[in-house]
Structure 1
Amino acid sequence: MGQLPDMRVTPTGRASTHTGLDYFGPMTVKIGRRQEKRYGALFTCMTVRAIHIELASDLTTTSALMALRRFIARRGCPKTIWSDNATTFRGADRELTQAVRAIDRDELTRFSSPRQIEWRFIAPVAPHMGGCWERMVRAVKTALKATLNTRIPREDTLTTLLAEAEAIVNGRPLTYVPLDHNDDLPLTPNDFLMPMTDRTGMTATSGTFNDGDLLRRSWRESQRLADLLWKRWVKEYLPTLTRREKWYQSSTPLAEGDIVVIADSQSPRNLWPRGRVVKTYPGRDGQVRVADVQTGHGLYQRPVTKLCRLDVRPTQD
């Protein structure tokens, strides 16, 4: 198990600086007498794990860009966006998988380049590499089950329910909940999204100030509060991310020339393709987690969790 990327463990000063994107659905809505499908676009902050949900009318590239523009308008422009590989987008619904394949990766890149957004895709057929946002999708679905009473809601009702589910997930504690009521409350993602919502004890004044003093004081208070939140994040939340509870023992990394069998859940085991590793992508710790495999049907890029190495060596020509 490798180290977490820097964007997960480095204070950024603003939530959603590094963002993960995923889709979920479809969800059926009632419009007049007809029924239509809608999808949820979930943006999650890679650092403080806050989420933002946008309702997408379809899974075209234009709809994805509109959802991204609304997210930027409300949460600010991110520096990095991570998402599943667009050519092999995974979803519980086959229609969702097929529809997202039509999203144009080049169009997303053209949109993000002038805004200095780095769009990065995880390896194909590797949903575990996107666990940061996959877990948030599950949390949203759990919250929707608790709030969705009607089977087929109207579109405005679904939009409201998604906003309420977003508030529920962003209100979850990131750190341990204290037993003593005198201790500080646990950190939540909402503390970083709305740091000045609770101003208890800050309303009392101790003198006469003009407008300039009030502005400077408010700005200094907000900056000081943000610093305190990030200090608590470093002391209380960050140590919980650095624990490694599994995969203590390292294995021999894949090397070029290894003969492997590609695990394919869509076909029987006796029909899994066999190939040769032609290129590896080692991480900073030297472990290989993604490799290119040449088979009789073409070149495939797969994570090592889907590659079964055979205890044979290729014959020399």
Structure 2
Amino acid sequence: MADLPTARLAAYSPPFTHTGIDFFGPYEVTVGRRTEKRWGMLATCLTIRTIHLELVPSLTTDSCIMAIRNFMARRGTPSVIYSDRGTNFIGASRQMKEAAAAVNVDDIMKEFTSVDTTWSFNPPLAPHMGGSWERLIGSVKRNLQKINPPRNPTDEVLRNVLIEVENTINSRPLTHVPVDDSAPALTPNHFLLGSSNGIKPYTTFDDSSSALRQNILASQVLANTFWKRWLSDYLPEITKRSKWFCQTTPVAVGDVVVIADPRLPRNCWPKGKVIETHPGKDGEVRSATVRTSTGVYVRAVTKLAVLDVRREGSKPA
């Protein structure tokens, strides 16, 4: 089992430095006497697992750009943005796939890719690579079902519900809940707001220079305390390895593979030859370019089944 990505281990970095973004929906809202569709955008910090939700009127390129800009204006500019490719919305409904086809990914990248921000796309048909945000989208949907808003709420009601759901998910414990109240469980809100529910303890105001220095030191100590608990309590939980101790031979150039395609019967899955591999930052091959009789495709290695055929130039065992 490979090491966790660097984004999951970026301790002491500001929230949303490494951000995953995805869209979900649609939800019907009442506008006057008619109903319209609305979508949600979820941005999650891959390090502290906090989320930010935005209500999106449509999945056009302009709406997506405005939603991401609204997120950046309130949460800061990420260093790296991770997402699925434009039409690769995992588990989406038919309406979402149709609406996603109108999104111009190149225009969005031009808007947000700069010296300070890079955009990283997952390979096609690799939902497990977006598991960090897909899991949280599932939590958002379950909370929406529990809240049970009106069948066709207004934009104002749906926006308020999303904000309430955002705060609820950001208040969830990241570590084990202790039996006593001596040390409350660490939550994403601790890094955003200073406490699990966002209500900071009352302190008397004193504008003297010594008091201000003490307040600054106290805030720094509080922030460092949260990160120390993140390192000692949360990080060991996500780095456990309970399987995959055996080293396997990675996919290599020249391998003959079968491409798993859920849209086709298994006996109709296309065969092809690997012409290029794409390793991750850890050096492990994560995706590959495969040439088939119908074209060239980039697929995650989890979607490739290597056939027991000798590679070109290799000697038989």
Decide: shared fold, TM above 0.5: yes
**Closer, same or farther: CA 286–15 of 1 in aligned 2, 3 Å:** closer
Give the aligned residue type for 2:250.
P
Rounded to whole Å, the distance in 2 between the matches of 1:291 and 1:161 is: 42
Query: What's the secondary structure of 2:178's corresponding residue?
Result: coil
How far is the alpha carbon of 1:254 from its aligned partner?
A: 0.9
Q: Does 1:292 align with 2:292?
A: no
Kept after mapping to 2: 8 A contact 1:24/1:91: no
Rounded to whole Å, the distance in 2 between the matches of 1:194 and 1:23 is: 25
Query: What runs of 5+ residues in structure 1 fail to find an aligned partner?
Result: none
Give the aligned residue type for 1:227.
N
Q: Deviations over 1:148-201 (max 9, x none)?
A: 2422211111111111111110010000000123x200000011110164444x
Kept after mapping to 2: 8 A contact 1:89/1:101: no
Q: Deviations over 1:192-251 (max 9, x none)?
A: 110164444x6268xxx5454454343332222111111111111111111012322232
Give runs of aligned pairs for residues 269-280 of structure 1, distance below 5 A: 269-280=266-277
> Higher mean Cα deviation, 215-224 or 156-165?
215-224
Q: Does 1:259 align with 2:256?
A: yes
Moved over 6 A (4+): none
Give runs of aligned pairs for residues 5-84 of structure 1, distance below 5 A: 5-84=5-84
Query: What's the secondary structure of 2:169's corresponding residue?
Result: helix
**Closer, same or farther: CA 150–115 of 1 in aligned 2, 3 Å:** farther
**Closer, same or farther: CA 98–91 of 1 in aligned 2, 3 Å:** farther
Query: What's the secondary structure of 1:88's corresponding residue?
Result: coil
TM-score using structure 1 length: 0.92
Query: What's the secondary structure of 1:248's corresponding residue?
Result: coil
CA RMSD, Structure 1 to Structure 2 (Å):
1.9
- Report the equivalent of 1:137: 137
Kept after mapping to 1: 8 A contact 2:23/2:89: no
How far is the alpha carbon of 1:285 from its aligned partner?
A: 4.6
Kept after mapping to 1: 8 A contact 2:23/2:39: yes
Query: What runs of 5+ residues in structure 2 fail to find an aligned partner?
Result: none
**Closer, same or farther: CA 301–214 of 1 in aligned 2, 3 Å:** same
Q: What is the percentage of aligned positions where both structures have the same residue?
A: 46
Q: Does 1:246 align with 2:232?
A: no
Q: Deviations over 1:55-109 (max 9, x none)?
A: 0000011111111111111111111110012243334202212322332222122
Number of residue pairs matched?
A: 311
Rounded to whole Å, the distance in 2 between the matches of 1:281 and 1:114 is: 23
Query: What's the secondary structure of 1:129's corresponding residue?
Result: helix
